[in-house]
Amino acid sequence: MPRTRFIPRSYYDTPTAPFVDAEEAWFWFMRCQRAREEGARFEETPGSVTRPCDPDDLYRAAVGLLRQRQVTAEHLRVLAFFGVCERPPDPRCRDEERPARLWNEALDKLTTVLKRKGIIE
């Protein structure tokens, strides 16, 4: 009698839903990071949306921009701070004018990379 073998579903066979923009992708990445820090294990649940990347792909894209000197460490600090807050900086608030400019610059650079990889539409 042949032994039944478990073969996991290929990642490429699952339909994926790309992100609308880099901001949505970044907030998803930050939520994933927070869940990891809290000890969550990622498993596919029925009805969940499969994304075209891993959270680490967004991290590598951001760090790659830093290494290429397209963004600065200050850009990444702003992305991290407001990513944890789960809101973009408000340019109407005087204290958040500069962070809003840095946020937009960083997401603009990130959009180029993520579009090329097919992560965003």
For residue range 56-95, what is the model confidence (pLDDT) as tens digits? 999 999 999 999 999 999 999 999 999 999 999 999 999 9
Strand partners, 97: none
Q: Which contiguous run of DSSP H or E holds residue 31?
A: helix 22-37
24 Cβ contact list (under 8 Å, min separation 6) = 120
pLDDT band at 50 (very low <50, low <70, confident <90, very high): confident
Is the pLDDT at 5 greater than 90? The verdict is no
- The one-character DSSP state at 116 is H
Q: What are the structural domain ranges in the chain? A: 17-37+53-117
Q: What is the pLDDT of residue 1?
A: 61
> Residue 33, exposed/middle/buried by CB under 10 A (0-12, 13-18, 19+)?
middle
b/e sequence 91-119, b meaning 16+ C-beta within 10 Å? eeeeebeebbebbbebbebbbebbeeeeb
Mean pLDDT of the chain: 88
